[in-house]
Amino acid sequence: MSLGLLKCVSCFIYYRVWYAKNNGIPVILFPKAKDEPKGLSPSDLVDTLRKFEVDFVLLAGYLKLIPVELIRAYERSIFNIHPSLLPAFGGKGYYGIKVHKAVIASGARFSGPTIHFVDEHYDTGRILAQRVVPVLANDTAEVLAARVLNEEHQLYVEVVEALCEDRVIWREDGVPLIQSRENPNEFH
């Protein structure tokens, strides 16, 4: 089983690239843009992922739209983690601290991370897993973000374990479920 991680290009990217290269993890830059001549085109990215025998693509803080070429090549195999309970507070413009500011401004009493399959649009793919955290009356966006992020880090591990153990199944109405490791007759 091989996983590919797409990470947003941020000020921390250099540490992440350094860490990967110093731990035998291949690093490729995507997308191809005028200011990133070393980047890959969508079709080159697909070819490269195939070359590295990547089975699943995990997005984490990736802030660009994944092109349809990759969606088609990795059907039901690209995942994203979003820091709200989708379908609420998702879509274009909803990323990072903006999500938590919107949650607090709405008066919502609960929030939490969602892991979903990636389709052609932002945050509209099938929901696979969620966790719920309280939104407290005196929460700032930063405090809520930290509470949600703590759950994100645990939830993604659970989902990757389920993927590696072939415990993701599709209900007949098209809803994906995770089969319990302890009791195969239970799903969530």
Ligand X SMILES: Nc1nc2c(c(=O)[nH]1)N[C@@H](CN(C=O)c1ccc(C(=O)N[C@@H](CCC(=O)O)C(=O)O)cc1)CN2
Ligand Y SMILES: NCC(=O)N[C@@H]1O[C@H](COP(=O)([O-])[O-])[C@@H](O)[C@H]1O
AA letter at 182: E
82: annotated active-site residue: yes
Residues 6+ apart with CB under 8 A from 92: 122
Q: Residue 172 CB, nearest distance to ligand X (Å)?
A: 24
Q: Which is nearer to ligand Y, 19 or 170 (CB)?
A: 19
Are 8 and 16 spatial neighbours (Cβ–Cβ below 8 Å)?
no
Decide if 16 contacts 66 (C-beta within 8 A). Answer: no
User: Does 81 engage in binding with ligand Y (CB under 6 A)?
Assistant: yes
Answer with the entry of ligand X, ligand Y, none that 99 interacts with (C-beta below 5 to 8 A by kind).
Answer: ligand Y
Q: Is 125 helix (H, G, I), strand (E, B) or coil?
A: coil
**What is the C-alpha to C-alpha distance for residues 90 and 85, in angstroms, rounded to an integer?**
8
- Which of 3, 25, 27, 65: binder of ligand X (CB under 6 A)? 65
Q: Does 65 contact ligand Y by CB under 6 A?
A: no
Stretch that binds ligand X, among 61-69, 104-112, 147-155, 171-179 (CB under 6 A): 61-69
Cβ distance 118 to 66 under 8 Å?
yes
Task: Tell me how far, at minimum, the Cβ of 22 lies from ligand X, in Å.
Answer: 27
Q: How far is the CB of 106 from ligand Y (least distance, A)?
A: 16
Q: Which tokens go with 96?
A: 């990072």
**Contact assessment for residue 148 and residue 154, using Cβ atoms and an 8 Å cutoff:** no
Q: Report the C-alpha gap between 114 and 131 in whole angstroms.
A: 7
Say whether residue 77 binds ligand X (CB under 6 A): no
The DSSP bridge partners found for residue 134 are 110
Phi, psi of 34 (to 5 degrees): -60, -35
| By CB under 6 A, residue 67 contacts ligand Y | no
Among 9, 82, 103, 139, binds ligand X (CB under 6 A): 82
What is the size of the binding site for ligand Y (CB under 6 A)?
A: 11
> Which residues between 126 and 185 bind ligand X (CB under 6 A)?
none
CA 80 vs. chain centroid, Å, equals: 2
User: Binds 60, which of ligand Y, ligand X, none (CB < 5 to 8 A, cut-off by type)?
Assistant: ligand Y
Binding residues for ligand X, rule: CB under 6 A, are 59, 62-66, 80, 82, 92-95, 118, 120-123, 125
Binding residues for ligand Y, rule: CB under 6 A, are 60-61, 81-83, 94-96, 99, 149, 152
